[in-house]
Amino acid sequence: MRYLPLTDADRQEMLATIGVKSSDDLFSDVPAKAIISESEITLPSHKSEMQVERELSAMAGKNTAAGSVPCFLGAGTYRHHIPTAVDHLIQRSEFLTAYTPYQPEVSQGTLQALFEFQTQVAMITGMDAANASMYDGATACAEAVSMACRATRRKKAILSGKLHPHYSEVTKDFTKQINIKCESLAPDVNDTEDLIGRIDKETACVVVQTPSFFGHLKDYSALAEACHAVKALLVIVITETLSLGLLKSPAEMDADIVVCEGQSLAGGLNFGGPAVGFLSVKKKYIRQMPGRFVGQTKDVDGKRGFVLTLSTREQHIRRGKATSNICSNSGLMALAYSMHMSLLGETGFTRLAEINHETAVTLSEKLAKVDGVKVLSSTFFNEFAVILPDDAGKIVEALAKRKIFGGVPVSRLYPKYPELRNVMLVAATETNTEQDMDSFVSELSNIIKEGV
Distances in whole angstroms, Cα of residue 106 to Cα of each of 93, 112, 119, 272, 302: 15, 12, 22, 34, 17
Instruction: Give me the numbers of helices (H) and strands (E) for the chain, helices first please.
Output: 12, 13
| Per-residue tens of pLDDT for the chain, all 452 residues | 566 788 889 999 999 999 999 988 998 889 988 888 888 888 778 889 999 999 999 999 998 988 899 999 999 999 999 999 999 998 887 777 656 676 777 788 888 989 999 999 999 999 999 999 999 999 999 999 999 999 999 999 999 999 999 999 999 999 998 999 999 999 999 999 999 999 999 999 999 999 999 999 999 999 999 999 999 999 999 999 999 999 999 999 999 999 999 999 998 888 777 899 999 999 999 989 888 889 999 988 999 999 888 775 544 555 666 777 676 678 889 999 999 999 999 999 999 999 999 999 999 999 999 999 999 988 999 999 999 999 999 999 999 999 999 999 999 999 999 999 999 999 999 999 999 999 999 999 999 999 87
How far is the C-alpha of 399 from the C-alpha of 33, rounded, in Å? 33
Q: What is the DSSP string of 398-450?
A: HHHHTT-B--EEGGGT-TT-GGGTTEEEEE--TT--HHHHHHHHHHHHHHHHH
Q: How many CB atoms lie within 10 A of CB 394?
A: 16
- Region label for 17, one of left (φ > 0), alpha (ψ between -120 and 50) or beta (otherwise): alpha
Q: Give per-residue burial for 121-134: e unless 16+ CB within 10 Å, then b.
A: bbbbbbbebbbbbb
pLDDT value of position 313: 53
Contact 141, 170 (CB under 8 A): yes
Distances in whole angstroms, Cα of residue 429 to Cα of each of 113, 382, 424: 28, 7, 17
**Domain 68-81+346-450, CATH among 3.90.1150.10, 3.40.50.150, 3.60.20.10, 3.40.50.300:** 3.90.1150.10
Contact 158, 183 (CB under 8 A): yes
Contact 254, 236 (CB under 8 A): no
Residue spans of the domains in the chain: they are 68-81+346-450, 84-341
Radius of gyration of the chain (CA): 24
How far is the C-alpha of 345 from the C-alpha of 192, rounded, in Å? 37
Contact 427, 364 (CB under 8 A): no
| pLDDT digits 0-9 by tens, 120-151 | 999 999 999 999 999 999 999 999 999 999 99
How far is the C-alpha of 215 from the C-alpha of 106, rounded, in Å? 45
Nearest to 127 by CA among 41, 210, 236: 236
Equal CATH topology for 68-81+346-450 and 84-341: no
pLDDT value of position 67: 87
pLDDT value of position 315: 47
Intra-chain end-to-end CA distance of the chain, in Å: 58
CATH 3.40.640.10 fits 84-341, yes or no: yes
CA angle 174, 281, 334 (to 5 degrees): 75
pLDDT value of position 100: 67
Nearest to 90 by CA among 235, 276, 283: 276
How far is the C-alpha of 441 from the C-alpha of 366, rounded, in Å? 7
CA angle 71, 77, 79 (to 5 degrees): 40
| pLDDT digits 0-9 by tens, 6-48 | 888 999 999 999 999 998 899 888 998 888 888 888 877 888 9
pLDDT value of position 5: 80
